[in-house]
A = this chain, B = another copy of it.
Amino acid sequence: MPITMHSASVPVFVRMLNNMLGWLDKAEAYANTRKFDPDNFVGMRLTLDMLPLARQIQISTDHVKGCTARLAGIQPPKWADEEKTLDELRARIRKAIEYAESIPAAQFEGSDTREIELPVGPGRTMKFPGETFLKSFSLPNFYFHVTMTYALLRQGGVDLGKMDYLGAP
């Protein structure tokens, strides 16, 4: 099978989101061992002018729904950014997995060259061919916020390694 817009997006997102669920489980176990509230991780920032862990996970999952919906030619759903606990963040991650997996692969066909319109502010849209949108916008943004989540947990003392990051191939 040649690589496709579906194979280059949905399984990539789903694998990394499943890995993130594993990191949050390890974070919770670590907090329990050290007897602190696991939800203390939720507000962690790498530096004061960077976004906290909750936003890193919200934005990661926003890119998943935004990318998969737009490639499939549907309007992405709006999700409130109200998660305040690890449990709520895990639910958000699971919602993104279910959403990405719910779109039939056939709907991605032809999205390589289809024009994607992305609202980027009041009255402003960016336009890209689908392949550029996936490769130069969605995937780099997704990996950015996923890696920031990992970095925050590592900085918070959670025993994560490269295999936790990569997950099973």
Most buried by B among A3, A5, A16, A155: A3
Contact B165 A144 (CB under 8 A): yes
The B-contacting residues of A in range 150-169, CB under 8 angstroms, are 150-151, 154-155, 162, 165-167, 169
**Neighbour of A3 across the interface among B15, B131, B140, CB < 8 A:** B131
Contact A3 B4 (CB under 8 A): yes
For A4, list chain B residues within 8 Å (CB): 2-3
* Residue ranges of A at the interface with B (Cβ–Cβ < 8 Å): 1-5, 7-8, 11-12, 15-16, 46-47, 50, 112-113, 128, 131-132, 134-137, 139-141, 143-144, 147-148, 150-151, 154-155, 162, 165-167, 169
Contact B2 A151 (CB under 8 A): no
**In angstroms, how far is the closest chain B Cβ from the Cβ of A144?**
5
Contact A143 B143 (CB under 8 A): yes
Contact A112 B3 (CB under 8 A): yes
**Neighbour of A46 across the interface among B1, B135, B155, B167, CB < 8 A:** B155
Q: List 8 A-B contacts (CB under 8 A).
A: A1-B112, A1-B113, A3-B112, A12-B135, A46-B154, A136-B167, A147-B148, A147-B151
**In angstroms, how far is the closest chain B Cβ from the Cβ of A160?**
10
Contact A169 B137 (CB under 8 A): yes
Contact B147 A143 (CB under 8 A): yes
**In angstroms, how far is the closest chain B Cβ from the Cβ of A72?**
15
